[in-house]
Amino acid sequence: MAAALYDIPLRRIDGKPATLADHKGAVMLVINVASKCGLTPQYAELEEIYETYRERGLVVLGFPANEFAGQEPGSNAEIQEFCSTKFGVKFPMYEKVVVKGDGQHPLYRELIAARPTAQQNPAGTLRKTLEKHGLAPTNDTDIMWNFEKFLVNRRGEVVGRFAPDFAPKDSAITGAIEAELSKPA
């Protein structure tokens, strides 16, 4: 599985070809992001986590997606501009991808295969809110909403998946990051 994640062709938000192998040896936090979502302010905490842990080997990777109520309608250039001006995002951003349903990007197919269900936030109400509005995922394996987070260890293995309503600086996420960073490269 690890080699498969590293080999999947990607494109950075500026259109340049890339793969996760560009970050081989790092701990990666992979997030599907959106600019017009109630969870969009998570960009600020994601940047804080990146700045806090990057010297120790963490990289945060943002993948814009528009599958959830059309909350990422912009072009890659518009998304890049929004992230840098509104939230000062310096972590790597990739071009818009499909994270569920028809046309699902191979990266998300592999991430979900490796970690089929997300850890749910015990204090969270997002799932109930989505259910109330008929927007809940149809399968437990589906990405629930924008800002679902996958933690990938230094060997390219998916070791965690967190529901979108976990704030990036929640102790469940930072604890998992710390644990992975403390392991040898």
What pLDDT score was predicted for residue 91? 96
What pLDDT score was predicted for residue 4? 85
Q: Average pLDDT by consecutive 10-residue portion of the chain (185 residues)?
A: 82 96 96 95 96 97 95 93 92 96 95 95 88 90 96 96 96 97 88
What pLDDT score was predicted for residue 2? 56
Q: How many domains is the chain built from?
A: 1
Q: Which amino acid is at 159?
A: V
Q: Which of 21, 37, 98, 136 is catalytic?
A: 37
What pLDDT score was predicted for residue 3? 58
CA distances, 179 to each of 44, 61, 97, 159, 160 (Å): 22, 19, 29, 11, 11
Secondary structure letter of residue 93 according to DSSP: B
Q: Which domain holds residue 162?
A: 2-181
The beta strand positions in 4-148, using DSSP E, are 10-11, 17-18, 27-33, 58-64
The CATH code of the domain that includes 158 is 3.40.30.10
Q: What is the pTM of this model?
A: 0.95
Catalytic residue status for 83? no
